[in-house]
Structure formats: C-alpha cells, structure tokens
Amino acid sequence: MLDCLRQAVANTLERKRRLGQYAVLWSGDAPIAVGEDAPVKLKAEQVLSQD
C-alpha cells in the first residue's frame, strides 16, 4: 500500500512539473512552494533564508 501511495505522489509531482505548475511540500516546520509560478510568500528560497 505504501509503495502504491509513493508512486501516485511521484507521478502527480512529475505531471505538475511537466505542466509548469508549482507544488506545495512540507519542509521541517513550514510548507514551501516549488516551481516557477509558486506564490512569492511560499517560495522555498524565502522560507529557508528566514532560518
């Protein structure tokens, strides 16, 4: 079951990447958005630079 869920997530993230959409991931204690069109307040660079 876990392998099936991992594959589903990997496929979805790959599809979003190919479509040019951003994805929201959890990193440590904060959500981050990765991708070119990600909202500015959730961009990974800004969240990580606040540490």
Report the predicted TM-score, pTM, of the whole model to 2 decimal places: 0.64
pLDDT value at position 30? 86
pLDDT in tens, the chain (51 residues): 999 999 999 999 999 999 999 999 888 888 888 888 888 887 765 545 555
**Where in the sequence is the domain holding 25, given as residue range(s)?**
2-49
Count of structural domains, the chain: 1
pLDDT value at position 45? 58
pLDDT value at position 10? 95
pLDDT value at position 44? 61
Transcribe the chain into DSSP letters. Answer: -HHHHHHHHHHHHHHHHHHT--EEEEETTEEEEESTT--GGGBHHHHHHT-
